[in-house]
Amino acid sequence: MKYMGIDHHKQYFIATVKDEEGTTLRKDRVSTDRAAIRHYFRKVNKDKDLKVVMEAGYGWEYLYDEIQGKVQEVKLAHPLKTRAIAEARIKTDSLDSDVLTHLLRTNLIAEAYALPYEVRDKRHILRYRISLLRIRTMLKNMIHAVLNRNHIEEPNFRDLSDKFGKKGKAFIKSFKLKGNDTKIVKGYLSLLEDIDKKVEAMERKIKETFEEDDVCKLLKTIPGIGELSSVLVRYEIGNIERFASARKLCSYAGLVPSTYSSGGKTYHGKITKQGNKWLRWIMTEIARRAVVKDAWVRSQHNKIKERGGAKKARTATARRLLEIIYKVWKERRPYYEKPVAVALEN
């Protein structure tokens, strides 16, 4: 058996190959062009006995997908847990590659979960929609800024609750503003309408995913979760079986408190915020809605709010709802307030 550790970058990667005794057989710098990758692995894996490890750093997906199927096994190393690299006194690409190879050979890799491409592809659509929504908000703010500096006094427009509905847009298009502001507002408005069309197209695609996925339908039974948020939660988690407990899932979302232990005393601080930021964000949004929709969630939220304030209560509610998601998904049964609540408290 041969073992390879890869330290990858945008234009190249450093690969170190060792045998079972730990002897370095070769060390190469390889271009990340597809043709170069394929040629290299045909050359070094003639005996079909090569195992590979690479860090789950920025841009890992492309290289991982290219290598998979060309070797016996490819693993992702968790960057934060691969302390041998982080704590090295001298850090170079070559040493990183060498240490990864050693950890793989001795079966000491702190492995990160590699989601299947199909799940990652769904994630990309969901994150694309979120980015479109953020751009849309930015454009609306820019239009407001131009209108504010022109001090629009039209009462029928100022009284509209939705300035960017059908009536509002018609008003904005009809305004004659100073200098170049008319052209600027119409340009922003044109971009906004294009974004709206793209958002609608993405939401249709996400709705199709929801209709085809039984897990999403189960998650929608939980307070605060709608069709879009159920799909986002489902594909940010990917496979619930990879989490041994609800706490592990909460840790993955960065919703568990940081812990400091010294001299026999343990202190809990703010949440770690390490892990999946998208899952953490959507759980916070779900918590906001669940407090309004569900009496039991609201009562739990208010108890914590009285002791620790609104921010702490919202975070705790998000964590509790993620625990409920774990239970509902793992047991493949819809949410019912009392059974789930009792089960979690026991």
pLDDT digits (tens, 9 = 90+) for 54-69: 998 888 999 999 999 9
Please tell me whether residues 80 and 145 are part of one structural domain: no
The sheet carrying 12-18 orders its strands as: 24-31, 12-18, 2-8, 50-55, 73-77, 111-112
Please tell me whether residues 63 and 137 are part of one structural domain: no
Please tell me whether residues 276 and 179 are part of one structural domain: no
Percent of residues, the chain, with pLDDT higher than 90 = 78
Indicate if the alpha-carbon torsion angle 333, 338, 341, 343 is positive or negative: negative
Structure tokens at 221: 């039974």
User: Is 218 domain-assigned?
Assistant: no
State residue 57's pLDDT score.
86
State residue 264's pLDDT score.
52
State how far the Cα of 28 lies from the Cα of 17, in Å rounded to an integer: 9
State residue 313's pLDDT score.
94
Please tell me whether residues 62 and 81 are part of one structural domain: yes
When mean pLDDT is compared across 14-18, 89-93, 243-247, the lowest value belongs to 89-93
User: Is 224 domain-assigned?
Assistant: no
Please tell me whether residues 271 and 250 are part of one structural domain: yes
User: Is 233 domain-assigned?
Assistant: no
Domain end, chosen from 177, 212, 247, is at 212
- On average, the pLDDT of the chain sits at 89
- Torsions phi, psi for 142 (to 5 deg): -65, -40
Structure tokens at 324: 């409920």
Q: Which amino acid is at 130?
A: I
User: Is 219 domain-assigned?
Assistant: no
Average pLDDT over residues 304-317: 92
Please tell me whether residues 266 and 321 are part of one structural domain: yes
331 has a pLDDT exceeding 60: yes
User: Is 312 domain-assigned?
Assistant: yes
Quote the number of domains for the chain: 3
Tell me the three-class secondary structure of the chain, residue by residue.
CEEEEEEECCCEEEEEEECCCCCEEEEEEEECCHHHHHHHHHHHCCCCCEEEEEECCCCHHHHHHHHCCCCCEEEEECCCCCHHHHCCCCCCHHHHHHHHHHHHHCCCCCEECCCCHHHHHHHHHHHHHHHHHHHHHHHHHHHHHHHHHCCCCCHHHHCCCCCCCHHHHHHHHHCCCCCCHHHHHHHHHHHHHHHHHHHHHHHHHHHHHHHHCHHHHHHCCCCCCCHHHHHHHHHHHCCHHHCCCHHHHHHHCCCCEEEEEECCEEEEEEECCCCCHHHHHHHHHHHHHHHHHCHHHHHHHHHHHHHHCHHHHHHHHHHHHHHHHHHHHHHCCCCCHHHHHHHHHC
User: Is 78 domain-assigned?
Assistant: yes
State how far the Cα of 231 lies from the Cα of 227, in Å rounded to an integer: 6
Range of the domain at 258: 239-345
84 has a pLDDT exceeding 60: no
Please tell me whether residues 86 and 140 are part of one structural domain: no
90 has a pLDDT exceeding 50: no
Average pLDDT over residues 128-134: 96
Strands 73-77 and 111-112: antiparallel
State residue 266's pLDDT score.
47
Confidence of residue 191 (pLDDT cuts 50, 70, 90): very high
Please tell me whether residues 123 and 100 are part of one structural domain: no
State residue 267's pLDDT score.
47
User: Is 9 domain-assigned?
Assistant: yes
Alpha carbon distances (Å) from 229 to 4, 23, 130, 285, 298? 40, 50, 11, 9, 19
Domain end, chosen from 81, 96, 112, is at 112
Taking a C-beta distance cutoff of 8 angstroms, is the pair 185, 147 a contact? yes
Please tell me whether residues 170 and 201 are part of one structural domain: yes
17 has a pLDDT exceeding 90: yes
CA atoms within 13 A on the CB side of 104: 30
CA atoms within 13 A on the CB side of 119: 13
Taking a C-beta distance cutoff of 8 angstroms, is the pair 57, 81 a contact? no
Indicate if the alpha-carbon torsion angle 327, 117, 56, 133 is positive or negative: negative
State how far the Cα of 331 lies from the Cα of 209, in Å rounded to an integer: 21
Please tell me whether residues 107 and 142 are part of one structural domain: no
- Which residue, 276, 223, 218, 214, is CA-closest to 250? 276
Please tell me whether residues 62 and 99 are part of one structural domain: yes
Triad 78, 79, 83: Cα angle to 5°: 100
265 has a pLDDT exceeding 60: no
Distance of CA 209 to the CA centre of its chain: 18
State residue 78's pLDDT score.
87
127 has a pLDDT exceeding 90: yes
State how far the Cα of 42 lies from the Cα of 166, in Å rounded to an integer: 60
The CATH number of residue 74's host domain is 3.30.420.10
Confidence of residue 87 (pLDDT cuts 50, 70, 90): low
Domain end, chosen from 166, 197, 212, is at 212
Please tell me whether residues 108 and 8 are part of one structural domain: yes
Taking a C-beta distance cutoff of 8 angstroms, is the pair 64, 138 a contact? no
User: Is 226 domain-assigned?
Assistant: no
Indicate if the alpha-carbon torsion angle 12, 14, 20, 26 is positive or negative: positive
262 has a pLDDT exceeding 50: no
State residue 337's pLDDT score.
64
